[in-house]
């Protein structure tokens, strides 16, 4: 009695799972246009060690300037340093 109900439930479950698998396989990942500095050929990601307290203070100041981020600040500072060295 319960065996038949169990078999029917199992068949229904298998059918539902197959439908879910088919739907998932139909989903294509969204493609988006490459934007930002990461994908821009004129930019190079680099690393540097700076003191934590310095970084935290800079982050707080940059929060007040939504149009400027850490990368922009580093670029500006390095460009200024380079210009001063070339003038000497």
Query: Rounded CA gap, 59 and 56, in Å?
Result: 5
Query: Rounded CA gap, 67 and 70, in Å?
Result: 11
Other Cβ atoms closer than 10 A to 73:
14
* Per-residue pLDDT tens digits for 13-32: 776 666 565 665 667 777 77
* Per-residue pLDDT tens digits for 31-81: 777 778 888 899 999 999 999 999 999 999 999 998 999 999 999 999 999
Query: Rounded CA gap, 79 and 82, in Å?
Result: 5
């Amino acid at each position: 009695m319960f065996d038949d109900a169990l078999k029917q439930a199992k068949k229904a479950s298998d059918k539902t799972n197959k439908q879910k698998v088919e739907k998932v396989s139909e989903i294509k990942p969204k493609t988006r246009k490459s934007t930002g500095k990461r994908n821009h050929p004129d930019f190079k990601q680099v690393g540097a060690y700076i003191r934590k307290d310095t970084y935290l203070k800079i982050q707080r100041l940059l929060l007040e300037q939504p149009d400027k981020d850490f990368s922009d600040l580093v670029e500006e500072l390095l460009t200024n340093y380079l210009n001063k060295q070339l003038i000497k």
